[in-house]
Amino acid sequence: MENKVILTMRGISMTFPGVKALDHVDFTLRQGEIHALMGENGAGKSTLIKCLTGINAFESGEIRVDGIEGPVVNHSTLDAQKKGISTVYQEVNLCPNLSVAENLFIGREPRTKIGTINRREMNTRAAAIMKELQIDIDVTENLENFSLAIQQMIAIARAVDMECKVLILDEPTSSLDDHEVEKLFILMNKLKAQGVGIIFVTHFLEQVYAVCDRITVLRNGQLVGEYPIADLPRVKLVAAMMGKDFDDLASIKGDMAVDLSHADYYIEAQGLSHKGTIKPFDFTIKKGEVVGLTGLLGSGRTELARVLYGADKAQTGTMKVNGKEVKINAPIEAMQLGMGLLPDDRKAEGIIADLSVRENIILAMQAKQGVFRQISMKEQQEIADKYIEMLSIKTASRETLIRQLSGGNQQKVILARWLATDPDFLILDEPTRGIDIGTKTEIQKLVLKLAKEGKSIIFISSEIEEMLRTCSRMVVLRDGVKVGELTDELTQNHVMQAIAGGDTDE
Amino acid sequence: MKKKSMNSNTVLLLITIALFVVMYAAGCVVYGDKGFTHLQTFLNILINNSGLLCVACGMTCVMLTGGIDISVGSLIALDCMILAVGMEHKGMNAAVLCILVLLMGIVFGAVQGFFIGYLDIQPFIVTMAGMFFARGMTAVICSDQVSIRSNELFVKLANMKFQIPFEIGAYLNKKGKLQIPFVRIPVIIALVVLVVIFLVLRYTKFGRSLYAVGGSEQSAAMMGLDVKKTKLKAYILSSFLCSIGGICFCMNTMSASVAHATGLEMDAIASAVIGGTLLTGGVGNVVGSFFGVMITGTISTLVKTNGKLLSSWSNIAVAALLCFFIVLQSIFAMVKSRKK
């Protein structure tokens, strides 16, 4: 029997300046189901969620929630919470300086007779909640002492304990490793069994097929359709999201393969290290080569790149760039040498939200030239337009504030920023995280194109498949040590074994 | 149950307390012959700093939200001036004047809190405006120094001594007369304020909201706390406690002038920081601020007891301490982020 419907959204429309963000979108959520909301960047997933939770006001349409008479319009997250709709975001929205128990109960603490907070009862109840989720932690410790995964679980626990009927998980797995994702899925299935309806927004196709019952696909602010998971194999899902047939991604490298045996080395590094983050390593990269850094999250792949770039100063070892010995003390020196780094944490280290797309693109170029050599406005506009066109950045204009762009498009702007400096060597740390599969392919193609122009590129990604498609060599890291390099036999299996280390039995 | 690892904030607090103990013990050893070992010396530090202690409690609450209140020194001057002029020139009742001063504190804080919480203006700017306003008003009311002599009730209250029971710490002075250690009313007021604020911060929703707002304003709002109201209340509390401190201050000095309590806001901030309160908010405790006040008090007493040193040396000592604690805090923060 079909489960009871607990949430219906009908004909939701909403316009941002210049863009129709949602155009008569319908969405239905049933009790005890995990419902994936899929779509490319800018398809309207976040906007739809924000309409539901009251962050954005929708222009037309109607939301109905089971158990509440008449149409529902939320004016704030708090409003939505009171109606049983809770959201857990990618960035954990808890207070790091308070204890786990307080984070679970703040705003609705158990009280004593005289109205003060009953800390003992709060701690007991918090411990019970955590025990039920099989998370073994001391609830009186501060939240900041725990991993992001645990913090996310606590955020979910809080939402669920507030008796929510609809739980929205907005890209909850982006910063979790496989093991942690596994834990999250166990929790999601448990909640599903309790009858909570879960809306799961993610970019990871595997995860959708691992836990979801149903998929709703959006494209360009319009509803493509709602499908039971069994009726929508991957290829069809990708096709639905992109609106075209899925060209074979694996083939993009083939025709671009280049013979590098006669190319010069761009970087030759020996025995570089940074205390506490990465043990001494040797590293070389040739002109026109794409080298992948692979390993688990925290294995030292970002840290290796940071040492090369001078973001963490190398404490030992020597480094040659173009055959000349150099010492890089700070990123600006690396930039002068023609290097560029696209950081993995684009919110914290990348975009400047209140500047326009053009200004964000020009930023690194201006820094490289020095403050006094002004780039003329005309030149700036030309450069900005060139990259908006080249990377197909979706923006109302080049003067739009970057904060108004979707996450994937912001990522492209930062990529454009580094391309504009015309670097010889680019480090791309997770350049495709959080962006849709179509854009991913574009970025991968771009990487190969840049390599063909003779640029050297370090590519860091959690997705092995993606690296297999772009890199001709892979450096494997484990626990801050460079454990090996793979050149031949670049297959998923092979790389996985190298990352995992130890015995090679399956 | 896993063994609970010691929180770095607890360590900071313990360092503050240890520093106070060491400093005081050193004073006892070096200046034992000048009466530093007497209980009364300790109590005098409390008496002299009772006003500052009240202010530091309020400052701590504001700093927990990530804000700051630099209007407190001027507000004390205004409080004292209202009390002194009211009593000496207008012959008003001391109790009525005290209530008036407290009400004024609430209104003053509410205005500042409204600007900061609801209009989202930088606390530094708003309270700087408050600082100029209060200092200016003080001069407008009366530009001369006013001494309080004629109000019987106030003089009586100010001179009231509470002796420590059972003659603890009592000693014979040079003339062979028994000296029983005592405190005055301001000390009792300040200690009550300290205990109440300690409990409020730990056991009430408002107290925890202060920490939540300081920890992450966005998260606090997401979790359904009223951030604006919390800020408003924090500044009301600060100005209210400041007015209580003003009354204590007035009882100690029995006078008022435009230059009263100049720079007291900085002493309060310094005490809070030495006590482990972070300027960025979310971390801190009034117990720490208490020891912060006591440390600065001890330093100036040490300098005074020496007799030969310029009193400015206590400023230099406080500066050194501030540097020490700020460096310590940032080292702790670095270690913490390194662990992750």
**pLDDT the model gives residue A346:** 62
Cα four-point dihedral sign B316, B320, B325, B326: positive
Is A270 in the same domain as A402? no
Window from A160-169, A177-186, A389-398, A496-505 with minimum mean pLDDT: A496-505
Q: Quick check: is A111 in a domain?
A: no
Separation of alpha carbons B121 and B127, rounded Å: 10
CA distance B313 to A410: 54
Length of chain B: 340
Question: Helix B72-88 vs helix B227-253: angle between axes, to the nearest 10 degrees?
Answer: 50
The verdict on A453 and A492 lying in the same domain is: yes
In this prediction, residue A245 carries a pLDDT of: 47
Inter-chain touch B336–A117, beta carbons under 8 Å: no
Residue A66 lies in a domain: yes
Mean pLDDT (whole number) for A414-428: 85
Q: Is the pLDDT of residue A384 over 80?
A: yes
Contact B105, B75 (CB under 8 A): yes
Domain of residue A317, residue span? 254-338+423-500
The CATH number for B2-339, chosen from 3.30.70, 3.60.21, 3.30.1490, 1.10.3470, is 1.10.3470
Q: Is the pLDDT of residue B162 over 80?
A: yes
Q: A106–B336: do the CB atoms touch at under 8 Å?
A: no
What does the pLDDT read at residue B317? 87
Residue of B nearest to A298 (CA): B340
User: Taking CB atoms and an 8 Å cutoff, what residues of chain A touch B212?
Assistant: 95, 98, 102, 106
Q: How far is residue A259's CA from residue B322's CA, in Å, rounded to a whole number?
A: 62
Same domain, A77 and A173: yes
* Residue A167 forms part of a structural domain: yes
Nearest to B71 by CA among B82, B84, B58: B58
Residue (of B179, B194, B178) closest to B46 by Cα position: B194
Min distance A147 CA to chain B CA atoms (Å) = 8
Percentage of chain B exceeding pLDDT 90: 56
Which residue among A403, A421, A439 closes a domain? A421
Q: Which of residues 136-195 of A touch B (CB under 8 A)?
A: 138, 140-142, 144-145, 158
What pLDDT score was predicted for residue A501? Answer: 65
> pLDDT category, B195, cuts 50, 70, 90?
very high
Mean pLDDT of A249-269: 65
| Domain count across chain A | 3
Q: Is the same domain home to A190 and A330?
A: no
Asked if residue A113 is part of any domain, the answer here is: no
Q: Is the pLDDT of residue B257 over 90?
A: yes
Structure-model confidence comparison of residues A434 and B195, the more confident one: B195
Cα separation, A10 vs A14, in Å, equals: 13
Q: Is the pLDDT of residue A341 over 90?
A: no
Report how far residue A85's alpha carbon sits from residue A470's, in angstroms, rounded to the nearest whole number: 42
The end-to-end CA distance of chain B, in Å, is 23
- In this structure, what token pair is assigned to residue A194? 């309790």
Compute the average pLDDT of residues A45-60. Answer: 86
- ipTM of the complex model: 0.80
- Residue B132 pLDDT class (50, 70, 90 cuts): very high
Q: Are B274 and B325 in contact (CB under 8 A)?
A: yes
Q: Do A144 and B282 touch (CB under 8 A)?
A: no
A86-to-A54, A63, A93 alpha-carbon distances in Å: 11, 15, 12
pLDDT of residue B55 exceeding 90, the answer is yes
Could you tell me if B91 lies within 8 Å of chain A, comparing CB atoms? no
User: What pLDDT score does A246 carry?
Assistant: 44
Domain boundaries, chain B: 2-339
What is the percent of chain A where pLDDT is above 70?
90
What pLDDT, on a 0 to 100 scale, did the predictor assign at position A503?
43
Cβ proximity of A178 and A125 under 8 Å: no
Looking at the predicted structure, is the pLDDT value of residue A248 above 60? no
Q: How far apart are CA B248 and CA A460, in angstroms?
A: 63
- Facing residues of A62 across strands? A10
Residue A124's alpha-carbon distances to A105, A139, A457, in angstroms, are 12, 9, 53
Residues 122-161 on B with a CB inside 8 Å of A are none
Residues A365, A268, single domain; the answer is no
Q: Is the pLDDT of residue A334 over 90?
A: no
Task: Check CB contact of B90 with chain A, cutoff 8 Å.
Answer: no
Q: Count the neighbouring beta carbons within 10 Å of the beta carbon of residue A389.
A: 9
> Where do the DSSP E strands lie in A397-448?
425-429
> What is the structure's pLDDT at A382?
87
CATH number at residue A457: 3.40.50.300
Q: Which of B202, B210, B214, B211 is nearest to A112 (CA)?
A: B202
Cβ–Cβ below 8 Å for B222 and A117:
no
**pLDDT computed for residue B1 by the predictor:** 37
Give yes or no: residues A64 and A158 share one domain.
yes
Domain check: are A92 and A187 in the same one? Answer: yes
Taking the complete model, does pTM exceed 0.80, yes or no? no
Question: Are A291 and A437 within one domain?
Answer: yes
Bridge partners, A291 (sequence order): A458, A473
A415 and A490 both lie in a single domain = no
Average pLDDT over residues A402-421: 81
- Of A200, A232, A264, the residue that ends a domain is A232
Q: Is the pLDDT of residue A412 over 90?
A: no
Interface test with A, best of B195, B208, B338 (most A CBs within 10 A): B208
Do residue A385 and residue A478 come from a single domain?
Answer: no
- Domain boundary residue, one of A421, A445, A462: A421
- Within 10 angstroms of residue A4's Cβ, the number of other Cβ atoms is 11
A36 and A174 inside one domain:
yes
Residue B120 has a CB neighbour count (10 Å cut-off) of 9
**pLDDT at res. A368:** 73
3-state secondary structure of A161: helix
A450 lies in the same domain as A306: yes
| Average pLDDT value over all residues in chain A | 81
Closest CA to B230 of B216, B253, B210: B210
Question: Is residue A246, in this structure, part of any structural domain at all?
Answer: no
